[in-house]
Amino acid sequence: MTCEEMTIAALKAGVVCVQYREKEKTRREIFNEAMSLRRLTGEYGASFIVNDHADIALAVNADGVHLGQDDLPLPEARKIMGKKIIGISTHSLSEAVEASAGGADYIGFGPVFHTATKDAGEPKGVEMLNEIKSRVTIPVIAIGGITIGNLPFVLKAGADGVAMASAILKGDISENVKSFLELIGR
């Protein structure tokens, strides 16, 4: 199944935000695929975030960019993105507080649980998620190893949202999305 086919299945099932993360392709290929995904997310009224590349996010008119700790610094990304959304990946309380104070629109925190999607380090747990929620004023999106079984714990810890890949993409995408949405009451 192609990236576009997976995205369509997820959007049809009710996903409201798509983050495009691609580490292997050329920047031209990333741009082309991002253009296609921007069109699809626009058709479904979903938000679209490009991972790592502020210039590509701006070029395809994405809603925002998501940056890791080793990507373009937040102040420089803000110069490029203007008022568009900027999210920052965080893995500790200090990174979360810094991103919030620096003007990020949201933070992605994790990995909350063990994940096989990427080498993201040791799981941080829901206790740290709860601590971060008590110390920042911007939305916190939990990421890393989130499943239908542990989602209630993530929500109880205060996550404003969740980012998932494997839990949605393995098996029947539509049924997976519907199960998650039912659990969160959407």
SS3 53: coil
What are 6's two structure tokens?
């997976």
- By the 10 Å C-beta count (0-12 exposed, 13-18 middle, 19+ buried), 55 is classed as middle
Q: Which of 12, 25, 27, 118 is catalytic?
A: 118
Catalytic residue flag (residue 92) = no
Q: Which of 38, 78, 89, 124 is catalytic?
A: 89
Preceding amide of 139 cis, omega within 30: no
The end-to-end CA distance of the chain, in Å, is 26
In whole angstroms, give the CA distance from residue 53 to residue 30.
9
Catalytic residue flag (residue 135) = no
Catalytic residue flag (residue 79) = no
User: Can you name the residues that pair with 43 across neighbouring β-strands?
Assistant: none
Pseudo-torsion of CA 155, 160, 166, 171, nearest 10°?
Answer: 70
Q: Which of 21, 47, 166, 174 is catalytic?
A: 21
Catalytic residues: 21, 89, 118
